[in-house]
Chain A
Amino acid sequence: MTKKQNRIVSNLYIFIIMAFLYVPILVMIIYSFNNSKSRGAWSGFTWKWYSDLFQNDAIMTALTTTLIVAVVSSLIATVLGTAAAIGIHAMKKRSRTVIMNFTYLPVMSPEIIMGVSLMLLFVLFQVKFSLLTIIAAHITFNVPYIILSVMPKLRQMDVHLYEAAMDLGCTPLQAFLKVMLPEIMPGIITGCLIAFTFSLDDFNVSYFVSGERAQTLPVLIYSMTRKRVSPEINALSAIIFVVVLAVLIIVNVNDVRREKKQQRGGRHA
């Protein structure tokens, strides 16, 4: 096989993978403009679902709830998880292994188990289901992901950096904020984003702990299945997809621009 053939095959492979990932989303976006409620037959172009979407109180309330839960729970989980990771990292090897295995456990076990057990816990302590229980539940399943993404960064970090900072006159707090935190920040960001995503599309846990005043978007969509899922949901998903895509592009373009700037700056220096 020549090099060129190789390239064609690998490009084809990438194309297939990309199609596999994005064709469903593309179809969904196309059908968000479909004039009928059908998910199969095309019957003309319309913006109807987009305008209906913003007037549908049930969907907008659920969306707001979902976003509040995702933002709050991922931020709190990030703080808790980072602190936990630093603590675990400072432990002796054996206890560290034990704790890390306990951290893996909720990640490995099916989500439904966590949903049911959290529900039972809330019922046992007579906590009423509300927005707060959903947030608490989401923090619970998010913390392990933060720990798991911060730990490798801590392991990569030079252990002496922190001590060096103290030698050079930092207080422990300053050493943590100015030396340690920037070093592990990429791990924290990754963890936070993972937590945000998990929280955004979680169904199992929210289903069990949502109450009479707050329900998240996935729970609402599931409830539509006796009738049929409204195309407004297609429209909403399309909007979310486009917003996320736009943000990703902006961030990446910015990154590239800054890198170029840095390179240029480096050359000048």
Chain B
Amino acid sequence: MRKRISLCLLSLLLIAFLILSTGGSCRLPSGVTVSADPASEVAGANAIDGSANVSDASDETSNSGSEADSSDTLPFSDDWDDYPYDEQYYSQLRGQGTSINFYNWGENIADGSDGFVDIISEFEALTDIRVYYTNFATNEELYAKLKSGAASYDVIVPSDYMVARMIKEDMLLPLNYENLPNVRYMDPAFMDPVYDPGSIYSLPYDWNTVGLIYNTKLVDEPPDSWGVLWDERYAGNILMFNNSRDAFGLTLKYLGYSLNTEDPDELREAAELLKQQKPLVQAYVMDQMFDKMENDEAAIATYYSGDALLIDNENIAIAIPKEGTNQFVDAVCIPAVAKNKLGAEMFINFLNEPTINAQNVEFIGYATANLAAYSLLDEELRSDPVLYPPQEVLDNSEMFINLSDETNLLLDQLWTEVMASNKNILSWGILPGATIFAIVAAKAWYRRKTALRHHYMTEDIL
């Protein structure tokens, strides 16, 4: 008996150990694999000897890109060799064993896969600052974690409206531009955003727009208006955002209102429209959109435009409606609880190294606000009207700002109303309801039958 028990315990430990050791042994080579990957090898070597920091692979692409277009229209050089790291700047905290805690959206930084640079490892090697990396899924999650005061981060990546909210609640530290030399590459159009006037607290990490993603096979003509989401022809073929702010945002735009409106009547009107739309909607989804669109399961979906480029289906196209859309920015900030502000600023500066930033936005699939990085991108990406829409589209678009508490509450209430409205509840309630009724009825009938039988039996006996 005891042997068996100890065997069980041992095997339990063995599983743990096995998995741990595979994890460990894979880590060991990860230092080695860095050198196995030619791109990072060059980058790593260069970081050490202090010359330029360009990877082979990306060099090639940029060369082919620069041949294709006239580089004189670009704001900055498109030669990857022109952007060496400032070794002196990055060695400020060398040998002090410092670290920073980086809190980012999941899958939102180039991590060495698909031939891209591993940004965090590269930064660690360059600066000797250890980066602890964790992820969140929503702005609200980030806010809650920070607000609890029990977690301290040094660099965070909230979206526009959350930046505004955090500024209002004194949760961010002003950036010291003297420690951020790479600000010189930033697009002036992004340097005084509505959510952070004067760019005192934040620098853009990436930006993108909300678009209409559609399947050319399943749509009669390319849509140019949000109105297509209310088109009876696509009943049951529409995928809608499963979050209130985005869903209301595009509806308000369709109605011609501002997506930051605080007017209860306008919000109610939008809610009415969303309720009307509900019978046409196949599902309210977020990332499930990818699979559904990939498999031709829906004709039209609303999502972030850049993500549509990642859908593996040749019939997918994206339209940005004429009514204008939501332009959103994920911004890097330093929270007030940060313990290593200099390290955090070095990291933010590193994220804006043109070579790093260019690879990062290409990995993420969104657009960059760093003009030098933009210059380094392939012609194909730069001229993509989805990633970098023409100015008139952007003129029509708005960024989210933080809404008042009352409006947020109203928005939540209205969204709940929309979600609870219509016969939808009835239709999914019918099946379980009918099943329960059938079970109860069957049981009652069976009981009556047996009771009757017992009755007859007793009568027979008597």
Chain A positions within 8 Å of B, measured between CB atoms, are: 36-41, 43, 52, 54-58, 60-61, 63-64, 67-68, 70-71, 119, 122-123, 126-129, 133, 182, 185-186, 189, 192-193, 196, 210-215, 219-220, 222-230, 239-240, 243-244, 247, 250-251, 254-255, 258
Contacts and interface: CB of A to CB of B under 8 A. Distances in A.
B105 interface: yes
B148 A123 contact: yes
B120 to A, nearest CB: 7
B150 A126 contact: yes
A254 B8 CA distance: 11
Interface of B: 1-5, 7-9, 11-16, 18-20, 22-24, 26-27, 29-30, 33, 101, 103, 105-108, 111-113, 118, 120-121, 132-138, 145, 148-153, 286-287, 290-291, 294-295, 307, 310, 312-313
Nearest to A258: B4
Given A67-B19, A243-B15, A247-B11, A55 B112 contact: yes
A63 B286 contact: no
B150 A58 contact: no
Contact of A244 (B13, B15, B121): B15
B19 A58 contact: no
B291 A255 contact: no
Contact of B20 (A64, A129, A254, A255): A64
B12 A196 contact: yes
Contacts of B22: 54, 239
A52 B33 CA distance: 11
Given A41-B312, A55-B33, A189-B9, A213 B132 contact: yes
21 contacts: A38-B291, A38-B295, A40-B295, A41-B295, A54-B30, A67-B19, A67-B23, A68-B20, A70-B16, A119-B148, A127-B150, A185-B2, A212-B132, A212-B151, A213-B132, A219-B135, A223-B105, A223-B107, A223-B137, A224-B106, A227-B107
A193 B149 CA distance: 34
Contact of A251 (B11, B16, B29, B120): B11
Nearest to A70: B16
B207 to A, nearest CB: 15
- The secondary structure that dominates the B interface is helix
B185 to A, nearest CB: 25
Contacts of B112: 55-57
Given A182-B1, A185-B2, A57 B12 contact: no
B23 A63 contact: yes
Given A123-B150, A129-B151, A220-B106, A60 B133 contact: no
Contacts of B290: 37-39, 228
B9 A224 contact: no
B337 to A, nearest CB: 9
Given A55-B113, A254-B7, A36 B26 contact: no
B16 A60 contact: no
B101 A212 contact: yes
B27 A60 contact: yes
Q: Which 6 pairs from chain A and chain B are nearest by CB?
A: A223-B106, A54-B26, A223-B135, A212-B101, A224-B106, A227-B107
Contacts of B16: 67, 70-71
A133 B151 CA distance: 11
B108 A227 contact: yes
A179 B136 CA distance: 50
Contact of A39 (B113, B120, B291, B310): B291
